[in-house]
A and B are shown apart, each in its own frame.
Chain A
Amino acid sequence: MRVYLTAVRLSLRRFLAYRSSAAAGVFTNTMFGCIRAFVLIALWKQKPEINGWDLSDAVTYAFATQALISPMGIFLTTTELGPRIRNGDVAVDLYRPVDFQAWWFALDLGRALGAGVLRSVPPVLFGLLLFPVSLPLSPLRWAEFAVCCAIGYTVCFALRYAASLISFWTMDERGITAIISTAAMFCSGLIIPLTIMPGLLGTIVGHTPWAAAVQIPINVLLGTQSGGFGYAVAFGSLWALALLAAGRLLTFVARRKVVVQGG
């Protein structure tokens, strides 16, 4: 266990070293938060309540999503493992006397924590200052939110890990992962909240694993999740377990069947 904690710590430290890059990222995340907020404000001005959300819920959502993008790694197409498989460096990783999946989980967790520290708070603070963002005061709500974020993060990692492994077979994972990240952007509710998606589209998108990444944690924070905290945990955990298991299975098969590229 200690080796994984050390990996988390060192990965976190590495990520924290890129502070000016994080500052540029925060600026961009905040500006995109503003644009999204303005679009949603225009919509909610026309229709003051949509599926249980009022204007302030929608604006809070716009900035909270910007806070979650980096830690969840929605825009990251794979873990850092993908390119290492493509260029053959993975051979070194396979030598390490650690569980392969847990090792990459630890490294990615360090990245996510670093992103959370450096990039998550400023967009929401900016929203609080200039927009009708309202956050709950109840500590219980925040604790539930934290649990949902942890589960959502696990889902995101498990999915990206499994996607990275694809390059063991296809030599190049970039095509598949580009499609996955496009789907991730839409299905997580980054472009528009899942709350306003109508009928069948809403049902389908609401059941993809990405729903657990952004929309459900924020629903729990706002207190608008149908089925409440219990549903949020059950839904996310099921996806997390299924995807982690898929990742393990792929790892198992890859270790036995596949020849590592290199040279």
Chain B
Amino acid sequence: MAELSSRIGRAADRPLSGPAAYLLFVRMWSKSASQYRVSLLLTGFAQMLTTSLDLVALIVIYTQVQTLAGFTLPETLYLYGTTRLAFGASDLLASGVETLANTIRLGNFDLMLIRPAGSLAQALADQFTPKRFGKLVAPLATLGWALTTLSVQWTVLKALVCIGTVVCGFVIYCTLWVLTGCISFIAVDAQEMANTFTYGSEFATEYPLQIFGRPLGLALTFVLPVAFVTWQPSLYVLGHADPLGLPGFLRFASPVVAAIMSGLAALAWRVCVRHYRSTGS
């Protein structure tokens, strides 16, 4: 803490840049979390266990059937791996906004606004804990497993799309964290609703999108565009026809979607902070 205040003190007349502030707060929170060392290790293990058990669930489903909605086990594992890796990374970076509702309710958001550092960087880094690295273990292992068992004719373009899937998915999920964090400005006790869009889309995108049927599948493509996290680019990598019959260029549209979502998230955050009126009493 002393280090933090001295860093901020030195920079008092010029605010810290977003990334620098973010890293500073992440370091501070990590230090705080590692005071309870055993709990940190155990919660990290629990996070690893959570994603691993979701994987077990997926495998259990495939003990009953050979294919699910036309997707074999390795193909679904590929969806699981890319989805969970992108989501885990976004969780690591941005899930601090989950505590925003509490921060606002307690009036602590005023403190964030007073500090000479961006409010978004502080909100994202809030309560950061290294336990979240645990969430990356199962997805990494699964993706490795899927990539070695899949019978895909790899090309340079496919490899690029594969890497792009995780990168763009990460960005799209980060924007979802920020956008759902904005809910807290409007309705302070609606935090649980945000879970639908964050954890809900994590859960939904690890399965072939067509299981949700055409109307919902289209909604998940064009309204809440999580189809671009994994589904659309993976159709290209895995060589599947689009069961919803959407045009082929959409399979390469993830970067565009990620850029648009980033713009929206940045705008939403600005509007919310500008209209923030602090808490009562």
Could you list which residues of chain A lie within 8 angstroms of chain B, going by C-beta atoms? 18, 20-21, 24-25, 27-28, 31-32, 35, 38-39, 41-43, 46-47, 50, 170-172, 174-176, 178-179, 181-183, 185-186, 191-192, 196-198, 201
Contacts and interface: CB of A to CB of B under 8 A. Distances in A.
A38 B189 contact: no
B61 interface: yes
B231 interface: no
A43 B63 CA distance: 11
Given A38-B213, A182-B49, A182-B50, A175 B189 contact: no
Interface of B: 36, 38-43, 45-47, 49-50, 53-54, 56-57, 60-61, 63-65, 67-69, 187, 189-193, 195-196, 200, 203-204, 207-208, 211-213, 216
B67 A46 contact: yes
In the complex, the 4 A-B pairs of residues with the closest C-beta atoms, listed nearest first:
A175-B42, A178-B46, A175-B39, A42-B211
B46 A28 contact: no
Contacts of A31: 196, 200
A38 B63 CA distance: 18
A28 B192 contact: yes
Contact of B36 (A41, A172, A182): A172
B145 to A, nearest CB: 19
B68 A46 contact: yes
15 contacts: A21-B191, A24-B191, A24-B193, A28-B195, A32-B203, A42-B68, A175-B43, A178-B46, A181-B46, A186-B56, A191-B53, A192-B60, A196-B63, A197-B60, A201-B60
Contacts of B39: 172, 174-175
A50 B64 contact: yes
B57 A191 contact: yes
A21 B183 CA distance: 13
Given A20-B190, A183-B49, A191-B53, 19 more contacts: A20-B187, A21-B190, A24-B189, A25-B192, A27-B192, A28-B196, A31-B196, A32-B196, A35-B204, A42-B69, A172-B38, A174-B36, A175-B36, A178-B42, A179-B45, A182-B50, A196-B61, A197-B60, A201-B56
Nearest to B53: A186
Contacts of A182: 46, 49-50, 53
A192 B65 CA distance: 14
A61 B213 CA distance: 20
A31 to B, nearest CB: 4
Nearest to B189: A21
Contacts of B65: 43, 46-47
B133 to A, nearest CB: 14
A41 B212 CA distance: 9
A135 B85 CA distance: 39
A204 to B, nearest CB: 12
A27 B194 CA distance: 10
Contacts of B68: 42-43, 46
B73 to A, nearest CB: 13
Contacts of A21: 189-192
